[in-house]
């Protein structure tokens, strides 16, 4: 039996996530997930790849908005959910995509610039800003938020357990920033999930998730290392990329929760990697 064991929302792209017991599935992904993003002077998105100090900003969802607090400095700010329709708008760039966004406020920009010690602005994706998912792997009019390319990413706990059995020091799941974690099945069971349901919402596995250097950043301290990419490269590499987890699109909306079952409709066995012996 495959069963949800963890749900995670990342309101501001590349900042720490929030574990929740239930999450609302919307057109763009989980409600609040990556609807805000930091950009530089050229309106290009900023991530932990170039700013690992982003790990030091904790995010909480409160009744009146997002509450952001610096772990060490203690400074905090609240970002209201309601951004006036009259707010300044502009186009922002995330990978190969350009989409419309609203600037939150100059006060918020100054706070993030001071906390991260880089010039940046915070933008919000309004409901009417439609960013189509990568059409090479998913067709139709499915959309996503400021996530890298797709509205969801899923990882099996058994996959992390297998990886940790190969590492000198085990790593937590937050290195991989999933939205959905499940228990049950074999390691890398998520590779096979072509079509499955959770509470009658259909999820479709469209592309294995290629991993980057963010997985090597300690999400508590911001320190960089070599793992897990070094070890993953020994048994999860294909076409010069390293894979861990599965990207998802979906049809339907509603609420899913920890403890819900995943019901597989169809599997894609061609995506299964050959599992090597542990060394």
**pLDDT of amino acid 276:** 45
Residue entry with tokens 């920033």: 177
Residues of the chain with CATH 2.40.33: 2-8+134-269
Distance CA 230, CA 268 (A): 27
Distance CA 31, CA 77 (A): 21
| Residues of the chain predicted below pLDDT 50 | 275-279
**pLDDT of amino acid 72:** 93
**pLDDT of amino acid 135:** 84
Distance CA 249, CA 196 (A): 11
**pLDDT of amino acid 134:** 85
**pLDDT of amino acid 84:** 81
Say if CB 132 and CB 92 are below 8 A apart: no
The residues facing 254 across adjacent strands are 25
Backbone angles phi, psi at 59, to 5 degrees: -120, 135
Q: Which of the four CATH numbers 3.40.50, 3.30.310, 1.20.272, 2.40.33 does domain 2-8+134-269 have?
A: 2.40.33
Side by side, the strands of the sheet bearing 57-62 are 57-62, 65-70, 76-80
Distance CA 156, CA 59 (A): 25
Residue 27 DSSP code: T
**pLDDT of amino acid 136:** 85
* Span 117-137, pLDDT tens digits: 999 999 999 999 999 998 888
**pLDDT of amino acid 221:** 97
* Span 180-191, pLDDT tens digits: 999 999 999 999
**pLDDT of amino acid 244:** 98
Say if CB 235 and CB 275 are below 8 A apart: yes
């Amino acid at each position: 039996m495959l069963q949800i064991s963890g749900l995670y929302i990342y309101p501001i792209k590349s900042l720490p996530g929030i574990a929740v017991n239930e999450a609302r599935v919307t057109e763009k992904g989980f409600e609040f997930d990556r609807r805000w993003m930091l950009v530089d002077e050229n309106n290009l998105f900023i991530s932990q790849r170039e700013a690992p100090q982003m790990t030091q900003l904790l995010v909480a969802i409160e009744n009146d908005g997002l509450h952001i607090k610096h772990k060490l400095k203690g400074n905090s700010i609240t970002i209201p959910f309601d951004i006036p329709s009259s707010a300044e708008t502009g186009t922002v760039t995330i990978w190969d995509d350009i989409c419309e966004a609203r600037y939150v406020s100059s006060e918020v920009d100054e706070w993030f610039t001071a906390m991260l010690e880089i010039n940046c602005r915070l933008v919000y994706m309004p409901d009417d800003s439609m960013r189509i998912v990568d059409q090479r792997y998913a067709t139709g009019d499915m959309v996503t938020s400021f996530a890298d390319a797709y509205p969801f990413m899923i990882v099996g706990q058994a996959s992390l357990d297998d990886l940790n059995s190969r590492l000198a020091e085990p790593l937590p799941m937050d290195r991989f920033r999933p939205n959905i974690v499940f228990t049950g099945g074999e390691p890398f069971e998520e590779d096979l999930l072509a079509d499955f349901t959770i509470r009658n919402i259909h999820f479709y596995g469209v592309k294995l998730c290629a991993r980057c250097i963010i997985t090597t950043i300690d999400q508590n301290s911001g320190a960089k290392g070599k793992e897990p990419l070094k070890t993953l490269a020994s048994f999860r590499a294909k076409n010069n990329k390293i894979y861990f987890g599965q990207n998802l699109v979906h049809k339907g909306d509603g609420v899913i929760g920890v403890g819900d079952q995943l019901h597989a409709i169809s599997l894609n066995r061609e995506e299964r990697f050959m599992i090597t012996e542990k060394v």
